[in-house]
Amino acid sequence: MNTQEKSAPVILITGASGGLAQEIIRQLPRESQLILQGRSRQKLEELYSDLPQVAFFQLDIRDAQAIETFVADIYQTYGRIDYLINNAGFGEFKDFDRFSNDTIQEMFDVNTLATLHFSRLVGQKMAEAGRGHMIMIASMAGLIASSKSSIYSATKFAVIGFSNALRLELADKNVFVTTVNPGPIRTHFFDQADPSGDYLKSVARFTLEPEDVARRIVKIMGTNKRELNMPFMLKLAAKCYTLFPRISDFLARKVFSYK
């Protein structure tokens, strides 16, 4: 992490009770001023009450007006946000015709729209300040679609597209935008996404440990890194997906259809 700030960096993390977020927070400098958002304040307090500079906020990020009020209050209190880590998200893997309207709406509200709202509001302030770094926790599923990930992939494709455009708009403002596209991570994310455990078993050789992903994220904080894709084999697969889409579709359908 780039620690050239004259004072402790102010870091806002959404979905802060998630497994990856826990590892990121554990590896951040202790002097960081952390602003942690989650669905349950009690859960956040249980996880992080020992940290020296931390504030907890329970917020329904499906509510765009609530996000706007929250961000305004943060700037009123702290004056700035140096790093925004958009980590909140969830997924379900099943046939496209088994999703309910409510589930589809909620997945886009949490995975996509909340990220867009936080980023445009914080991005505007960072542009005015002439510095800042936004990190979007997307997914390899946003680069390579696979069977039974239709809705989740769509939410992450949207995040990556938005981030790529936002990066261009903020390039002259000294504000960095990085998309992080990991493959499956061994966290409680899959308790909901894959209750049977069959998916994780089938992709065991690609599964990442949260501490390793967190280490790489913390390392690039404050640097103008465009994207972070992992593991290497899926990074290579994403390149092939772009260069040879028809062959990649065949492989994704016949060979990599694990779920």
- Residues classed as catalytic: 152
Question: Three-class SS of residue 71?
Answer: helix
**Of 16, 18, 256, nearest to 141 (Cα)?**
256
* DSSP H or E run through 49: none
At 84 the three-state DSSP class reads: strand
* DSSP run (H or E) holding 163: helix 150-170
Residue 257 DSSP symbol: -
Q: Which residues contact residue 223 at a Cβ distance below 8 angstroms, ignoring those fewer than 6 apart?
A: 2, 176
Residues 6+ apart with CB under 8 A from 116: 159, 162
